[in-house]
Amino acid sequence: MELLIKKHVRFMERHIGLLPSSQEKNDANRLAIVYYSLVGICCLDAEALTAHREGASASVIQLYRQSELSDGTVVGGFLGSRTMEVSGRPTMSSANTLFATLSLLCLEAHEFLQCKENSAAICEFVSRCQLPDGSFVSMLDIGGGGCPSPTDSHDLRFCYIAVALLYLHGCRTPAEYARYVDVEQLVDYVLTQRCIGGAFGAFGEAHAGYTSCALSLLSILGKLDSLDEEFRARTVSWLVHRQVSAIGAVPLQDDNEQFYAEDHGGFQGRENKAADTCYAFWCMNSLEILEASSLVDNGPMESYLLQQTQNSLVGGFAKTDEDDPDIYHTFLGIAALGLIAGTFDGALCVPKNVSAQWVRSTTH
Ligand SMILES: [Zn+2]
């Protein structure tokens, strides 16, 4: 089966406007859903975005908030949705701010993005999210004077988001980053998340998603050389071995719940797990950053995505061949195929032509 572009575009368009009532529980994540839809459409058919440009830009921008902290610093960021509005307590988060920034890039809403005041406020917000150990949380305790939220988790995802935001909002040189964050401390934190067998993860368990976050942020910062050759080789080996193969596999006498022959070609996110559409992206992006993606057999990966998890009836991709399609796996399935085709910028998570145009227009 080929990539069903028209069906996927329609599937994603259905997620831009009002959410169906069955998805009400996801309203706090509206901006994430809008981002997955817009960027997914932008990958497949940029022309189809034209009809949404004005309406979608306005509905994203209306979620932007600025707040003045007690020391006079103005911080800015995006709410996940209007339901997250709490009077006097801006609940902007760095994750939603990245989703908004990337959505606006695809929508070519350059007026908002090129406003120096907005970018400075967003960079100040990111700056405030850094913890003393170098890692980042995603929210501030605005009532508590704008300190990092004491209840928010801090891990490689939020470190990646922080770096991507600083980069997209104008930081390029070490001095520009240093205005807002302690890069050395951040890199030290990232190195503490290395796992013995290669790759990155929390609590010593390697995870493809965290690995992609760590490698993407080091690549954006130009700090990949902080990883020694031996660790890089172990990481490449770990990543390549996440591709599930059914060839030559001997079925166990007792059922093995974590092994399905249909997973052949797909990627798992951790050892001994089933294949899942999104890990094709997290693993392939990591391998591409380490310049080792040619070690992967793309054919079985493509056929896993197109034959097993692509939904030919309503469009979209599912997590596995047994699930209904959802917008997150749809976006990451399309992004993984875009990586293979060489058209997707995995470190910044937008099509290459979008990021290249933005970098050109903001590099001084
Ligand atoms: Zn997944």
Confidence (pLDDT) at 364: 62
Ligand 1 centroid to residue 326 C-alpha, Å: 10
Side chain identity, residue 232: R
Residues 300 and 5 sit within 8 Å (Cβ to Cβ): no
What spacing in Å lies between the alpha carbon of 269 and ligand 1's midpoint?
8
Confidence band, pLDDT 50/70/90 cuts, at residue 20: low
146 C-alpha to center of ligand 1: Å? Answer: 33
Cβ–Cβ contacts within 10 Å for residue 190, how many?
Answer: 26
DSSP string, 78-108: E-SSGGG--TTS---BHHHHHHHHHHHHHTT
Which of 35, 28, 82 lies closest to 57, judged by CA?
35
Domains and CATH numbers, the chain: 5-246+259-362 (1.50.10.20)
Distance of CA 319 from the midpoint of ligand 1 (Å): 5
Instruction: Quote the ligand 1 centre to 113 CA distance (angstroms).
Output: 30
Q: What percent of the chain has pLDDT over 90?
A: 80
Please count the other Cβ atoms lying within 10 Å of the Cβ belonging to residue 212. Answer: 30
Å from CA of 55 to ligand 1 middle: 30
pLDDT of residue 251: 64
Which pLDDT value is given to residue 142?
72
- The tens digit of pLDDT for each residue in 191-240 reads 999 999 999 999 999 999 999 999 999 999 999 999 999 999 999 999 99
